[in-house]
Amino acid sequence: MRAAFLVPVVIAMLAGPALATPLGSSDVQGLIREYNAANAPCRSTDGTRATQIACDRRAAYALRLDQMGWCLGKQSDAGAQMRWHRCTFDSLHFGD
């Protein structure tokens, strides 16, 4: 299922501006910066193509970080408390 998800994400990413940290990178801090950069415009409710591309990028970076063992938030966290960390037994994984 995740592979089917990546096809539209990759297409959308190719349509966007160049990435400072490539999606295949193992630079965790760089990937987190890219996730955060895409997060702000993704939170917009304007429904534009630019917003959709930002959301697709954010999802791609979250998936890559999850594959590398990094999670955003734990089950007990409120939204504002969520931070990127090495995944543990109570971490939220991308797609949870």
pLDDT, residue 70, reads 96
Whether residue 4 has pLDDT greater than 50: no
Q: Which spans in the chain are helix H?
A: 2-15, 28-42, 49-67
3-state DSSP call for residue 90?
coil
For the stretch 7-54, pLDDT in tens is 444 444 444 555 667 777 788 999 999 999 999 888 878 888 989 999
Per-domain residue ranges of the chain: 2-70
For the stretch 46-87, pLDDT in tens is 888 989 999 999 999 999 999 999 999 999 999 889 999 999
pLDDT, residue 21, reads 73
3-state DSSP call for residue 39?
helix
